[in-house]
Amino acid sequence: MKQIIDTHPHVISPDTQKYPLQPVGGVQSSWSQAHAVTHEALVTAMDEAGIGKAVVVQASTAYGYDNSYLAETVAAHPDRLTGVFAVDVLAPDAVEKIQFWQGKGLTGLRLFTAGSTMQGQSGWLNDPRTDAMWAFANETGLPVCVQMRPQGIPQLADVLERFPETTILIDHLARSAFEDGPPYQLAAQLWALARFPNVNLKLTLRNFEAAEKGQSTVPDFLEHLLSIYGAKRVAWGSNFPAADKPLDELVRRALEALAVLNEKERSEIMGGTALRLYPALAK
């Protein structure tokens, strides 16, 4: 394996004066309250875990659309990190805000439509007010990372019918269920998205744990996943520190789960896909 790249760590500053908390939806996540992982601490943890580079994802449930600490993080470690920022894509100036944060060295956009503080699936993913943002991403190659639930998949499919060149990375495989086992019909909507060639999936501990339930096993799940998307469209992410486990343990558990795959497949999931989605990491 050439290099491990983490596509989903977060950073939280203990300095709430300089970096005020303003979580999306007005509710701060419990994990961001419990774990103030600075960018210095993240890089140290990466070194201990054998991670070469990372795509740091905006902690939306702590900072909302203020990506200042994320920008500082990437600026402090430009050879190791890039960042996925968040903006209010329903706002009239969404594209201008995207360009502003790109100017700060951040290279991907995050849409938080569901999550720990938003149990239901938001309905704005294909709202006409987001069209300018989708058109910009479609035309410029800006990768869009989507935190969502299966209920949002029809919305995303509608967007991709209209903006088919948009590069998408779906967090946690849209939190799909796999306990029915092969052929995993509970996740049929997720598999159907594979018809859009620019849809990629982010594989995390949440998915490995889901694949151990009911009639599913991790080897069966991985075989089915790769038969549909292929390793080149799957990227590993730690979800550190929200996953509430040390980063080195999250790496170990991923490598143990992926041990059933061949070396080329493991290398793609643990690094190669991330480099294609975020070419800034290759510099």
Residues 124-175: tens digit of each pLDDT = 799 999 999 999 999 999 999 999 999 999 999 999 999 999 999 999 999 9
What tokens were used for 18? 């300089």
Please give the pLDDT value at position 93: 97
Please, are residues 63 and 22 in contact by the beta-carbon 8 Å criterion?
yes
Please give the pLDDT value at position 283: 80
Peptide bond into 241 cis (omega under 30): yes
For residues 217-230, give the mean pLDDT.
98
Q: Quick check: 113 pLDDT over 80?
A: no
DSSP string, 16-55: TTTS----GGG---HHHHH----HHHHHHHHHHHT--EEE
Lowest model confidence (mean pLDDT) among 109-118, 123-132, 271-280: 109-118
For residues 227-248, give the mean pLDDT.
96
For residues 221-247, give the mean pLDDT.
97
For residues 64-85, give the mean pLDDT.
97
Tell me the fold of 5-282: TIM Barrel (3.20.20)
Q: Quick check: 266 pLDDT over 90?
A: yes
Residue 170 to residue 177: CA distance in whole angstroms:
15
Please give the pLDDT value at position 32: 80
Please give the pLDDT value at position 26: 78
121 band by pLDDT with thresholds 50, 70 and 90: low
For residues 268-277, give the mean pLDDT.
98
Alpha helix ranges (H) inside 53-130: 60-63, 68-76, 94-103
Residue 239 to residue 245: CA distance in whole angstroms:
9
Q: Which phi and psi (to 5°) does residue 261 adopt? A: -90, 165
Please give the pLDDT value at position 34: 76
